[in-house]
Structure 1
């Protein structure tokens, strides 16, 4: 499965990493904001 998830702030994503169990993805944007996503549900926390 492939999905495109935008940074909620609209700022360009500069880094992203999966949790050790691959259940979550965290992204960091150029404006310093971060987003935490549940990979299975695609829910933003």
Structure 2
């Protein structure tokens, strides 16, 4: 349960950071490749 929440929070933070920094290439491979099928917009 905590792990799922952490992943969700990390992905949310990563999305915010990416958008804020202009969608950088890949800040963290783990966050972007956390779940195959996540609603990601390039």
TM-score normalized by the length of structure 2: 0.20
Considering fraction of residues, name the structure with more strand: 1
More helix by share: 2
